[in-house]
Amino acid sequence: KVYMIAAGVIAGVYLLGIVVLFLGVKERDDPYALNSDRAIPFCKGLALTVKHGPYVKLTASFLLISTAVQLEQGNFVLFCTHAAGLRNHFQYLVVTILVSAAVSVPFWQKFLQRFGRKCAACGISWMIPFAVMLVTIPNLILAYFVAFVSGLSIAASLLLPWSMLPDVVDNFRLQNPHGKGHETIFYSSYVFFTKMSAGIGLGISAAGLEFTGYKPGICRQSDDVILTLKLLIGAVPAILILLGLFILLFYPITEESRKETKLALEELR
């Protein structure tokens, strides 16, 4: 019954979002397009986007980071239940993560506006040392602290790519001044890659747990399963996040180049 109520609430939220989008958002033509510009066909546009250096680096970086976040989120409950002895607290830990992530979004928005996108990306790595500490020293107080810090990192990982993607679109617009309609391709393909990261995270988790003999419903899992959960919470996300941040180091759009692109587009407009 509770699941049915939750499903109804979620469906209502979806419908409310659709109504707000339909009634509150007006579509506008590309302000930088000339009358002679033509819309880019989807296949050609997709080929151009996957060859665009800033977009490839941004997507590859956050594909790894999103996979790490999915692993952290997807296995947190199992880790608390079977590996950390926090069976009676995991629901409160999950609420702590969600509240922390929601409350910290305005902070990250101010942070990236003042210090830049790349500096804000370092906040994603905050969860790494605390998650490793929780794996090695399972403690209730530490678990709540890890949940709070993980919420901060998750908020940064969700906000940053959507604040950097418009810069990539503007950069592409400046390099391809006689085409229009490419924004849809950029955003839809990025959404596809984020969904793919969720699938990769679920696949890694399911394959690893099945390989080590995870059995749903039993109170005590084997030592191999516990070790796998520790790796899925600590080591694997840490490696993926570090790889993603390393790729982001080569992201070519800086705050200076972003301002130059903005001025150039204003002149074009």
Q: Residue 90: what pLDDT? A: 78
CATH 3.40.50.300 describes domain 52-171+180-268: no
Whole-angstrom Cα distance, residue 124 to residue 18? 30
Which runs of E-coded beta strand occur in the chain? 38-39, 179-180
Where are the chain's structural domains? 52-171+180-268
CB 269 within 8 A of CB 31: yes
Question: What does each of the 269 residues of the chain score in pLDDT, given as a tens digit?
Answer: 999 999 999 999 999 999 999 999 888 776 666 666 677 777 877 888 888 889 999 999 999 998 988 888 888 888 888 877 777 887 888 889 899 999 999 999 888 888 888 788 888 888 888 888 888 887 788 888 888 988 888 898 888 889 889 889 888 888 877 767 778 888 888 888 888 888 888 888 888 888 888 887 777 878 888 888 888 888 888 899 999 999 988 888 888 888 888 888 888 77
Q: Residue 31: what pLDDT? A: 67
Which residues contact residue 115 at a Cβ distance below 8 angstroms, ignoring those fewer than 6 apart? none
pTM of the predicted protein model: 0.83
CB 125 within 8 A of CB 61: no
